[in-house]
Chains A and B, each alone.
Chain A
């Protein structure tokens, strides 16, 4: 069926609630309202207030109780309302969610859903891309889908996974429509090729995959062939799929909305440079947010990577040397 990403995640949550009676959904405004993005729309009505419930407004405790509920045998799927509101929960995520199994042998099957990224004209704290903080933390798995079908398939895998997963939802793509097949799962740790090409590998995840596809379309008119890789999973990182492309193109660009400095692209660039040093025709390029706090929304187009900036990087890697 065709569905928006928002609907695909909603269906994914519903199917997870149906599949396992221990699955719980909770967070701020996820009950009667159905979430500020309506991702949990209708779920409380269908599954009751003990499985889908609003909590007090306290992110650290939302994640903290998820740890306790997981210890008690539940499969918690807490929602953090916005990327920029996850920081009070940082300690619980980094010190406990990520490390509990390492110290106790008890796996915590928690999936933390976080709408992330910008391009929605929002006020401060509503457009951030904090994924690198979490990808940096061993013990977590970190994923970010780019299509409705992947959002469904990755979410089901994340909730079924016995390890904790931070699930970043590109909110600017919530209303992107595409085919969703409820029988398809997307394994965590598996990237995919979104568009085949021969000249330059462009690597994105979440919101920047579509931007990269638009860039590939534009580049093709100039005779440049871009291969677009959707990482889907940041941790674990599927470097094999990336390398299979770079071996072919000898040029790579990594694109994300987060600031470039110490961003996830630095890891990807370093891995490519390490594994394909002799093959590369040009240094791996990173295209991302500026190294500033997310700007007021009227300026966000200048902050965010767009088609033009990707094409500039394409020019650079194709004319290098």
Chain B
């Protein structure tokens, strides 16, 4: 089966996500109880190991996320922004791309970074206040965190335009939250992407909350539908369904790399934790809402399905959990050993490629003042 949208023929992979219509519910492959609503595995091309790896990665990043929150509570990190509940988006979207496709994250994509191979302990040095950028973006094709909301989105579009100018088959993925869709940069970037047919996938992690402001105060309309106004398709999918995220991202990325232009995916998920470790969500949302979403937990749901398929047994699950414990423990130990870089280098060393004589004099004075103290 295949479908057409705006005259563009989508690949088989796209069948499982479909293009959203106004009356469509959130697209999903699983129901919340872990039963498959539409057997799309054939077109996803995922074998047993790949399906099990999805589970393994979700468990590993969830455990690391919890450990990072512990570290913040123990004073080892200045701040932590949990992504609890959004693991399916992090793993599904990242694994749907080629390693050479760049990802432009916002600030909650620790799980995506881990899936890209970034050392979690190194990444945490950023939240420990040792650096503004803990990894080389060129090595992992993973851009620096963008803390001002939505500002990374035009970067991704520019990068994708560059891929097009260079006639490569790269796709670019940029991810952001529902709050970002209120920012001008999102609209400007969506518009540029449409005009220049940039090979970019816009992945909105609609987690319903921008700190304390709910989706209903963010927009009166549909996020996914807005793509049509910029000249490309948008779909709304169940972001707690890893196969759905994987399928949609892969379809959108393949379409982009073959000249189909941009695509917007609104992955509906939920921020189970606080905005950051400095936030108190009990002031603005009901426990019953959180409880309702916990019934749609992406990891538990996928586990149920894997088990029903005979792809997960106790031994495998235990192995995965032990691995997650080991990775979290190693992360913790390595972070404790992270050394402060020399102050002169940390403060002055990365500002300019070609610093002026005056700038270097000021650095020398700064370093000399440290020697005296």
Q: Residues of A at under 8 Å CB distance from B?
A: 24, 50, 55-56, 58, 60-61, 63-74, 88, 91-92, 95-96, 99-107, 138-139, 141, 161-163, 189, 236-237, 239
Show 14 A/B contacts (Cβ-Cβ < 8 Å), sorted by A: A56-B195, A58-B192, A61-B157, A65-B161, A68-B161, A68-B162, A69-B158, A71-B155, A72-B163, A91-B151, A95-B151, A104-B143, A139-B352, A237-B358
Contacts of B359 in A (CB 8 A): 236
B279 at interface (Cβ–Cβ under 8 A)? no
Q: Give the CA-CA distance A71 to B132 in the complex, in Å.
A: 18
In the complex, given contacts A64-B154, A72-B158, A139-B351, what are 9 additional A-B residue pairs having Cβ atoms less than 8 angstroms apart? A56-B191, A71-B159, A102-B133, A103-B350, A104-B137, A162-B354, A189-B356, A236-B357, A236-B359
How distant is B106 from chain A, measured CB to nearest CB, in Å?
Answer: 13
Q: Mark B176-211, 1 if CB is under 8 A from A, else 0.
A: 000000001100110110010000000000000000
How distant is A17 from chain B, measured CB to nearest CB, in Å?
Answer: 14
Q: Give the CA-CA distance A72 to B132 in the complex, in Å.
A: 21
B138 at interface (Cβ–Cβ under 8 A)? yes
Q: Classify the secondary structure of B's interface with A.
A: helix
Q: Give the CA-CA distance A88 to B185 in the complex, in Å.
A: 10
A50 to chain B: closest residue by CB: B165
B interface residue count range (under 10 / 10 to 19 / 20 to 34 / 35 or more): 35 or more
Contacts of B353 in A (CB 8 A): 101, 107, 161-163
Please state if B159 and A69 are interface contacts (CB–CB under 8 Å): yes
Please state if B157 and A65 are interface contacts (CB–CB under 8 Å): yes
Out of A24, A102, A106, A189, name the residue touching B132 (CB < 8 Å).
A102
Out of A58, A72, A92, name the residue touching B159 (CB < 8 Å).
A72
Q: Give the CA-CA distance A24 to B154 in the complex, in Å.
A: 17
Q: Give the CA-CA distance A255 to B354 in the complex, in Å.
A: 28
Q: Residues of B at under 8 Å CB distance from A?
A: 102, 132-133, 136-138, 143-144, 146, 148, 151, 153-163, 165-166, 184-185, 188-189, 191-192, 195, 350-354, 356-359
Q: Give the CA-CA distance A100 to B147 in the complex, in Å.
A: 12
Query: A61, A65, A68, A73 — which one has the most chain B CB atoms within 10 A of its CB?
Result: A68
How distant is A106 from chain B, measured CB to nearest CB, in Å?
Answer: 7
Contacts of B192 in A (CB 8 A): 55-56, 58, 61, 65
Contacts of B136 in A (CB 8 A): 104-105
How distant is A166 from chain B, measured CB to nearest CB, in Å?
Answer: 14
Query: A56, A63, A162, A237 — which one has the most chain B CB atoms within 10 A of its CB?
Result: A56
Contacts of A73 in B (CB 8 A): 162, 166
Please state if A100 and B144 are interface contacts (CB–CB under 8 Å): yes
Contacts of A91 in B (CB 8 A): 148, 151, 185
Q: Give the CA-CA distance A4 to B357 in the complex, in Å.
A: 32
Q: Give the CA-CA distance A58 to B194 in the complex, in Å.
A: 14
Out of A64, A99, A104, A106, name the residue touching B158 (CB < 8 Å).
A64
Contacts of A68 in B (CB 8 A): 154-162
How distant is A65 from chain B, measured CB to nearest CB, in Å?
Answer: 3
Q: Give the CA-CA distance A99 to B155 in the complex, in Å.
A: 14
Would A69 and B162 be within 8 Å (CB), given that A61-B185, A92-B154 are in contact? yes
Out of A64, A69, A71, A105, name the residue touching B151 (CB < 8 Å).
A64
Contacts of A96 in B (CB 8 A): 146, 151, 155
Out of B158, B195, B350, B354, name the residue touching A67 (CB < 8 Å).
B158
Q: Give the CA-CA distance A50 to B163 in the complex, in Å.
A: 12
Please state if A64 and B189 are interface contacts (CB–CB under 8 Å): yes
4 closest Cβ pairs, A-B complex: A68-B158, A64-B154, A72-B162, A65-B158
B200 to chain A: closest residue by CB: A68
Contacts of B138 in A (CB 8 A): 106
